[in-house]
Amino acid sequence: MNARETITLYEAIGGADAVERLVRRFYELMDTLPEAARCRAVHPADLSGSEAKFRDYMTGYLGGPAVYVEKHGHPRLRMRHMPAPIGPEERDEWLLCFRRALEETVPDIRLRAVIMPPIEKLAYHMQNRS
């Protein structure tokens, strides 16, 4: 297999447009689902900055351009999220929104099966309250 036969998850899900749809839907769900209220409460009233940063992060995370790193440096996600009280409820609500957004925007179940486990691990790593 040569390098051209291998594609990134970013390419496999549809590139920038797909990441945009995923992240937009994620924040729409977080902003509107009653069962995501605790997670929503730890975010700023205006979600546009969070959405832009998450879109940039997911672009690089999925193998696309390293936009987040170019703009903000190393993600240092746990340190950057430490001021936000993230307990099991907030973590699970965040995962609920991400999982639903992924299911709604990435039709290929095999791709979702590759993307979701490390995202779950990351969400558990972000938890900073019991």
Longest dimension (CA), the chain: 48
Report the predicted TM-score, pTM, of the whole model to 2 decimal places.
Answer: 0.93
Burial of 118 (0-12, 13-18, 19+ CB in 10 A): exposed
pLDDT in tens, the chain (130 residues): 555 688 999 999 999 999 999 999 999 999 999 999 999 999 999 999 999 999 999 999 999 999 999 999 999 988 889 889 999 999 999 999 999 999 999 999 999 999 999 999 999 999 999 9
Q: Could you give the CA distance from residue 66 to residue 114 in angstroms, rounded to a whole number?
A: 20
